[in-house]
Structure 1
Amino acid sequence: MSDTPIDHIARATPEPVARRIRGLSDRTLAWIFVAPTIALLLAINIFPLVWTIRLSLTNYRANRTNSDIEWVGLRNYVRILTDSDIWLSMQVTAHFLIWTLIFQVFLGFALAYLINKKFKGNDLWTTIIVLPMMLSPAVVGNFWTFLYQPQIGLFNYVVAFFTGVDPSSFSMIGSVDLAPWSIVIVDTWMWTPFVMLICLAGLRSIPDYIYEAAAIDRASPWRQFWTITVPMVLPFLMLAVLFRGIENFKMFDMVTLLTGGGPGSVTELTSINLKREAFEKWRTGYASAYAIILFVTVFGLASIYVKALNKVKER
C-alpha cells in the first residue's frame, strides 16, 4: 500500500513534537488554530472600538497632541444628542436611506423577475445591467458629476425641459430641492444590480414543482406570484435591504464627489458630518462620541431587523 501525504507528514515530524501533539486534546488543538484569528480580530476591531469609547469621554484633539487631555464624561454625548445640526443630518440620512432602498428593492426585484424569464440575449442583458456595481464609487461620482453639469449635463436638460428653466443656468446638484434626489438617482443606478442579483438567486431557488402543483390547482399566474414567488423571495429581499441599508448609512465618498458637501446642508449625511468634526474641526473626542452613537444606532437597528428576518425565514 502506498503512503499517503499524511504518512509522509507524520514521518517528517520530529518525535518530541509528535509526542507533544498527540498529548493535546481536540479542544486545545481547536484553540491553537482559532487563536491567531481571534488575536487579529481583537487588534483590528475590538481595540479600536475600546479606544474610541475612551476618547469619546475626553476633550482630546488630534491636532493638539501636546495639550492636556480633560476627562469630560458623557458631556460629548449630551452635546451631540441636543445639537439641531446633528438631527438635521440624521433626517437627511434617513431621507437618503428610505428612498434609495425603496427604488433599489422595487427596480431590483422587477429586473430579476424579468431576467428570470428565459429569453434570447438573457446573459448579455444580465452582464450589461450589473456593470454599474463593478465600478468604484469614485469613478461613478466623477462620471455623474459630468452628467449634472449645467452646460453638458443630460439630467439638467431633462429637468429644465419639464420646468422651463434655462439649462445653461441650471444644475441639479446645485439646487437645494433637487440635490438630495440627484444622490438618490446615482446610488440607485449603481446598486440596483446588487439587489437584482440577490433577488435572482431567490427566484431561482424556488422549485419548479411548486408552480406545477399550483397550476394543477388552477391558480392564476397573479395568484402564484403573490402566494409563491413573493413569500419565498421575501427573505432574500430583506437580506438585500439589510446590506444596502448598512452600506448607505455610511455613504461618504460618492456623495462628496457629487456635491462637495453642498448646497447648504441638504446633502450632509451623518458620515460627512462626522468627517467634518474629526478632520476639519479636529474635535476628536466629540467625533468619537458621534461615531459611537452611530455605531450603536446601526447595530441596534440591524439586530432588530435580523430578528425579523429570522422569523420570516422560519415561516
Structure 2
Amino acid sequence: MDRNTIIRALSDLADEFRIGTKLFSTEDLPEAFHQARIHNKWFTKENIIASVNALADMISDEPTVEKWLGKYPEPKSKAKKILLVLPGNIPAVGFHDVLCTLLSGHSAEIKLSSDDKFLIPWMLRTAEKYFPKWVSRTHYHEGLISDFDAVIATGSNQSAQTFETYFSRKPRIIRHNRSSIAVVHDTDGDEELIKLGDDIFMYFGLGCRNVSLVFIPEGFDKQRLFDAFLPWKRLEYINAYANNYVYYKSYFGLSKEEPLDGSFYLLRENNSTAAPVAVIHYSEYNSIDQVKQFLSENKENIQCAVSAQNDIGNAVKPGQAQYPRIDEYADDVDTMAFLAGL
C-alpha cells in the first residue's frame, strides 16, 4: 500500500473504532468491549471508551500521520518476526506497538497481557478489511516464544530486568515503570487546573502518562487543587479505586503521616515520581530551575511532563497527557526507527 492509501485506511479504521465506542456507550456491544470490562475491574466502560477514542483520534490525525510515515523508509520486503510483550495497565495500551510493527512490514508475534486479552484482537479484526495483509502477519501466543528476530516488551521494573536478561541476545526495546509529573504556576487558571485533574485521574492513574507528582509554587493555595479535582469525585463510587483510598488513608494514619485528604484521594508531600492509586504526590518549588534539575536527575523514571507554560522544555498542556500523537513514543524511544533498522 502507498502512504496515501495507508493514511486514508487509518482514518477509516478510526471511524470504525468510534462506531464501536458509540455502540458500547448504550449497550454491552461490541462483545470484546463487554468481555474486557468483565475481565478487568479497572477497565470500566468510561475508560474503555476513552482509550479507544483516543487511539481513533491518534490514527485519524492525517497531517501528523503523513509527516510521521514520511520520516521512515518503505517497509522491507522480507518481514522480521517481532515479539510484542504487551502491557495491560490501561485499555489497549499496546496498540501503538502493534501498529508500528505491522506498518513496518513485519510480523507481529503478540503476547497479550492477561489483563487485556480482548480489545487489541478486536481492533485488529476490525482492521482486516482495510489492511488484509495484516491477517497473515499477526499471531497470538500464550507464552514467550523462541522463534523471533526482535522484541518489544513492556512490564514492571522487576519484569523489565528479567526481560533484559532473557532477551539479551536479540535486538530489543525494554520498557519499565514510569510516571508523569506536572508543574503548576501561580498564573495557572482554574480551567487549567481542572484539566490537570484529567491527567491525574483518567484510568484511575494507572497509566505511565498519568501525573503522579505535582510541583506547586511555595505558598500556593492547595484549596485550588481540591476544588479543581472535584469533577473526579465520581471515582469514590468505583469499589476498586475506593478500596485503595481507604487503605492508604489507614496506612498513613498508622505510620503517623498526615497527607491532606481530598475526600477521594490523598495529597501527600513527597517528591517520588511513583504514587499508589488514590494518592497524589506534591512538592513545592521556589524556582523553575529546581524543577528542571529534578527532571534531569529523574528522566529515566518520567514518561512526560505537563505544564501550562513553556518553561520546562518538551511539556504537554494540561488535559493532553492521555492523548499522545502517533509520533510520540513511550520512553522517547523511536519504535519505527528501531523496526526500520532491523
Fold equivalence (TM over 0.5): no
Q: Structure 2 length normalisation: TM-score?
A: 0.25
Which structure exhibits the higher relative contact order, with contacts defined as CA atoms closer than 8 Å and separated by 6 or more residues?
Answer: 1
Which has the larger share of strand? 2
Max Rg structure: 1
TM-score between both structures, scaled by the size of structure 1:
0.26
When you count helix as a share of all residues, which structure comes out higher?
1
